[in-house]
């Protein structure tokens, strides 16, 4: 007895709504093996689920995504002999299959119910080849004997591109270029919506244009100012007044940023990647609409079909939603190309972006105030965060704690002009006002997942964060759609992470590789005037994971040699490691506040990947005199309560 009931003896595509199935040929009369006597079809399990209309449509979208995202899909049950025969057939043909065992998944009955509505076949196995419903066991063997199965397996699905990537930032470009190197036809869509102040930029995403690169260069400009101050103690004599030119700095930085953006565009061209400076929006499964203006119909709209899709749209700065914020405030999108010196500045926020910007602005000689709603550097080690704040206060940065703006008013137009900020306390009824030349908002970032049409194909998005949940292979709820970079739920929002994840994803999709991105022990640095580098757990998180009594926390203050002659504070820089006593004192948290913390942290991060322990650190001979060597001589634990202040070199 065949697994398929009468009436499903034609090959057809699963229908959408009232669309008729596409019939490719009748195999009823074809000769072929039939199921041996005594074998019974595997019908739906008793007590099939009762789905709501919305749940049924959602499941239908997911099934269509699964079917359209794979060459061969077999809906099966582990105990069904007919399913076993079909699996053995495709295995003998050397064809990889995506197999869903309905008796092994929680919603198996619901899947079979909806699948039955889509195909008019109530039993398993139910086989799809290149989006075409072949039928059950007998029909698959009949199609194989008649040659129709081989024809389906070789069918050209007529995709315009093997891969389309939306988002021209670090992760998207990394994935696109690697896929092109592997011989695939690739398109990159990148469209930058101008900020409320009208700022836009070219290819390369946040990092190149309005993030890591210009931020680090302005950080360096501020460090050079401090070096000028220190230089007098080292014998440098100069009588002329030293001044900083904002225009000269921004012109030089933007020139470099422009060269990087052009270099990325050139790299796409050299790898034969199609780059389109337009907006992308899903219109149906495996099809995206490209237009110059999101959400607006245009005669310039073009649709492209694709096999795989990667979302790498990143994030943009968040606004407060108060009167005057979009009209008069700027964000990091605007700061690095600002055509005038910002003057007296209020930075709203306590994120690393807020503190980094406040730090280099103060280092350039500007009066800077930071308005903080609650804690500094949420998600980072809070002891280190407070030390970062204290070091910035020593440089003249003023902090307003537990206040939030409620209104921004323009007092005078100009470049920069004058603004009045009205703020209220988060810890009472107190209000305050302040006048500034510039108000910089750095209160967080929102994921760019709206207006992409993701709901049309069933890609799940977190209602709370707007981010996209993925599995361990960066795969979304729709099997042929993937995501990398800052749009991912629960993953580090860092450029090197996105670059590696994108490259490895392309290799898995098109290069036969299996390596996944490792999101554990990712190092990072906050480029405040005194840099803060870290890798692994914060002390708070380590306590949650391992219990405080199982931790060994070693720490010390240290005095960089370069600071001694310059007479800079000898108890500001700080080093700390967190060890798991139950795991051979393995280092699970690394933290350093000091000059060049990023360079120090990068090296120790590699050691942590290799299983660094306290014993290995103790056995390591340090390079003298450096800041990094302090980690090879750590002896004092927090639990001991011993003094860690420094008295000399």
CB-based burial label for 155 (10 Å; 0-12, 13-18, 19+): middle
Rounded distance, CA 319 to CA 337, Å? 19
Percentages (nearest 5) of helix, strand, coil residues in the chain: 35, 25, 40
Please give the pLDDT value at position 153.
83
As a whole number of angstroms, the distance between CA 276 and CA 323 comes to 36
Buried b (16+ CB within 10 A) or exposed e, 318-328: eebebebbbeb
Domains defined along the chain, listed by start: 53-154 (3.40.30.10), 161-235+243-317+446-511 (3.50.50.60), 318-443 (3.50.50.60), 530-640 (3.30.390.30)
HSE (side-chain half, CA atoms, 13 Å) at 582:
9
Distance CA 214, CA 208 (A): 7
Active-site residue, from 219, 256, 285, 624: 624
Q: Are 402 and 373 in contact (CB under 8 A)?
A: yes
**Residue 316, beta-bridge partner list:** 446
Tell me: pLDDT of 219 over 70. Answer: yes
Q: Is the pLDDT of residue 195 over 80?
A: yes
Dihedral (CA of 52, 54, 57, 63) sign: negative
In the chain, the percentage of residues whose pLDDT exceeds 70 is 90
Q: What is the pLDDT of residue 297?
A: 57
How far is the C-alpha of 209 from the C-alpha of 335, rounded, in Å?
Answer: 11
Residue 345 has pLDDT above 80, yes or no: yes
Give the chain's mean pLDDT: 90
Cβ atoms of 143 and 489 within 8 Å: the answer is no
CB–CB of 383/540 below 8 Å? no
CA distance 286 to 304: 8
Residue 295: its pLDDT value, please?
A: 54
What per-residue confidence (pLDDT) applies to 43?
Answer: 53
Mean pLDDT in residue range 454-480: 94
For 158, other C-beta atoms within 10 Å of its C-beta total 6
**Cα–Cα distance measured from residue 531 to residue 596, given in angstroms and rounded to the nearest whole number:** 6
| 63 prior amide bond cis, ω within 30 | no
- Contact, 165 vs 276, CB < 8 A? no
Per-residue pLDDT tens for 511-533? 988 899 999 999 999 999 999 99
Structure confidence by residue, pLDDT tens digits, 27-55:
222 233 333 333 344 555 444 457 788 88
Q: Please report which residue ranges of 154-200 form alpha helices under DSSP H.
A: 170-181
Tell me the C-alpha distance between 399 and 316, whole Å: 25
By CB atoms closer than 10 A (0-12, 13-18, 19+), residue 285 is buried
**Mean pLDDT, range 401-427, rounded to an integer:** 97
Given a cut of 70, is residue 649 above it in pLDDT?
A: no
Give yes or no for a contact between 338 and 361, defined as CB atoms under 8 angstroms apart: no
**What distance separates the 2 farthest-apart alpha carbons in the chain?**
104
Q: Encode pLDDT of 125-153 as tens digits.
A: 999 998 889 999 999 999 999 888 888 88
**Residue 357 C-beta-side C-alpha neighbours within 13 Å:** 30
Say whether the peptide bond before residue 625 is cis (omega within 30 degrees of 0): yes
Other beta carbons within 10 Å of 557: 19
Check if 624 is active-site: yes
pLDDT at position 188? 98
pLDDT, residue 592, reads 98
**Per residue in 220-233, pLDDT tens?**
999 999 999 999 99
List Cβ neighbours of 8 (8 Å cut-off, separation of 6 or more): 119, 120, 121, 133, 135, 136, 139
According to the model, what pLDDT value does residue 56 have?
Answer: 86
Provide Rg for the chain, Cα atoms. 30
State percent of the chain over pLDDT 90.
80
Determine the distance from the C-alpha atom of residue 389 to the mean position of all C-alpha atoms in its chain, rounded to a whole number. 27
Q: Tell whether the model's pLDDT for residue 78 goes beyond 70.
A: yes
State residue 70 phi and psi, 5-degree precision.
-135, 150
Cβ atoms within 10 Å of 378's Cβ, excluding its own? 13
Residue 517 near residue 189, CB atoms below 8 Å? no
Peptide bond into 439 cis (omega under 30): no
**Closest listed residue to residue 384, CA positions, set 281, 528, 488:** 528
Q: Which residues contact 428 (CB under 8 A, 6 or more apart)?
A: none
Residues 65-79 have a mean pLDDT of: 88
Residue 17 pLDDT exceeds 60: no
User: Is 0.85 surpassed by the pTM of this model?
Assistant: no
Tell me the average pLDDT across 627-643.
97
Mean pLDDT on 390-406: 98
Q: In terms of Cα–Cα distance, which of 69, 60, 76 is closest to 14?
A: 60
Nearest Cα to Cα of residue 480 among 17, 42, 163:
163
Closest-CA residue to 309 (of 573, 65, 604): 65
* pLDDT exceeds 90 at position 499: yes
Q: Is the pLDDT confidence value at 539 over 90?
A: yes
Least confident span in 85-89, 114-118, 639-643: 114-118
Cα torsion angle, 464, 465, 469, 472, sign:
negative
Distance CA 593, CA 608 (A): 18
Give me the mean pLDDT over the 151-160 stretch.
76
**Two structure tokens written together for 41:** 């079809």
What is the pLDDT, as a whole number, of residue 20? 28
With 70 as the cut, is the pLDDT of residue 450 above it? yes
Q: What is the pLDDT of residue 49?
A: 52
Under 8 Å between Cβ of 354 and 526: no
Q: What was the pLDDT predicted at 158?
A: 75
Residue 298 has a pLDDT of 53
- The Cα-based distances of 614 to 74, 381, 554 in angstroms read 51, 20, 9
How many residues appear in the chain? Answer: 649
Q: What is the dihedral of CA 427, 431, 432, 436, to 10 degrees?
A: 90
Task: Identify whether the C-beta of residue 387 lies closer than 8 Å to the C-beta of residue 369.
Answer: no
DSSP SS3 for 500: helix
Q: Which two tokens stand for residue 537?
A: 């757990």
């Amino acid at each position: 007895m065949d697994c398929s009931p009468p009436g499903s003896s034609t090959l057809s595509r699963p229908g959408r709504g009232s669309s008729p199935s596409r019939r490719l040929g009748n195999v009823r009369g074809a000769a072929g093996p039939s199921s041996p006597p005594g074998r019974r079809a595997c019908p739906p399990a008793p007590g099939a689920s009762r789905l709501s209309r919305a749940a049924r449509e959602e499941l239908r979208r997911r099934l269509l995504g699964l079917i359209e995202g794979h060459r061969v899909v077999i809906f099966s049950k582990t105990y069904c002999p007919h399913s076993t025969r079909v699996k053995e057939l495709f295995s003998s043909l050397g064809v990889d299959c995506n197999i869903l065992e309905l008796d092994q998944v929680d919603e198996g009955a619901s899947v079979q119910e909806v699948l039955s509505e889509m195909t008019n076949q109530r039993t398993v196995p139910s086989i799809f080849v290149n989006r075409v419903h072949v039928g059950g066991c007998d029909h698959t063997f009949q199609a194989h004997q008649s040659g129709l199965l081989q024809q389906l397996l070789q069918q050209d699905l007529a995709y315009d591109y093997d891969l389309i990537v939306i988002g021209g930032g670090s992760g998207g470009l990394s994935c696109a270029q690697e896929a092109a190197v592997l011989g695939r036809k690739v398109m990159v869509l990148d469209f930058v919506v101008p900020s409320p102040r009208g700022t836009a930029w070219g290819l390369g995403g946040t990092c190149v244009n309005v993030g890591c690169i210009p931020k680090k260069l302005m950080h360096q400009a501020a460090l050079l100012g401090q070096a000028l101050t220190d230089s007098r103690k080292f014998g440098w004599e100069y009588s002329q007044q030293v001044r900083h030119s904002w225009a000269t700095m921004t012109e030089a930085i933007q020139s470099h940023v422009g060269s990087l953006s052009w270099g990325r565009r050139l790299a796409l061209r050299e790898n034969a990647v199609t780059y389109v400076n337009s907006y992308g929006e899903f219109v149906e499964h495996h099809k995206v609409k490209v237009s110059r203006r999101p959400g607006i119909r245009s005669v310039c709209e073009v649709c492209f079909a694709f096999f795989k899709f990667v979302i790498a749209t990143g994030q943009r700065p968040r606004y407060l939603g108060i009167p005057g914020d979009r009209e008069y405030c700027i964000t990091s999108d605007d700061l690095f190309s600002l055509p005038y010196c910002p003057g007296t500045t209020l930075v709203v926020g306590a994120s690393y972006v807020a503190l980094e910007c406040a730090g280099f602005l103060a280092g350039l000689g500007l009066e800077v105030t930071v308005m903080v709603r609650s804690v500094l550097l949420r998600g980072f080690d809070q002891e280190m965060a407070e030390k970062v704040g204290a070091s910035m206060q020593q440089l003249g940065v003023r902090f307003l704690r537990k206040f939030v703006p409620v209104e921004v008013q323009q007092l005078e137009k100009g470049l920069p002009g004058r603004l009045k900020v009205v703020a209220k306390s988060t810890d009472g009824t107190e209000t305050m006002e302040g006048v500034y030349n510039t108000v910089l908002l750095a209160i967080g970032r929102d994921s760019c997942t709206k207006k992409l049409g993701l709901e049309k194909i069933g890609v799940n998005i977190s209602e709370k964060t707007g981010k996209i949940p993925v599995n361990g292979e960066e795969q979304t709820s729709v099997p042929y759609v993937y995501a990398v970079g800052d749009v991912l739920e629960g993953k580090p929002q860092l450029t090197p992470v996105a670059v590696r994840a994108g490259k490895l994803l392309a290799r898995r999709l098109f290069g036969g590789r299996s390596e996944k991105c490792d999101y554990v022990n990712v190092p990072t640095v906050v480029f405040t005037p005194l840099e803060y580098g870290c890798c692994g757990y914060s002390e708070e998180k380590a306590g949650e994971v391992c219990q405080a009594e199982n931790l060994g926390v070693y720490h010390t203050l240290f005095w960089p040699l370069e600071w001694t002659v310059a007479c800079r504070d000898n108890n500001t820089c700080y080093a700390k490691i967190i060890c798991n006593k139950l795991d051979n004192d393995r280092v699970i948290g690394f933290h350093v506040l000091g000059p060049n913390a990023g360079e120090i942290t990068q090296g120790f991060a590699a050691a942590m990947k290799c299983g660094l322990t306290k014993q290995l650190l103790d056995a390591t001979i340090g390079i003298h005199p450096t800041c990094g060597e302090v980690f090879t001589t750590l002896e004092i634990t927090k639990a001991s309560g011993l003094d860690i202040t420094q008295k000399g070199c």
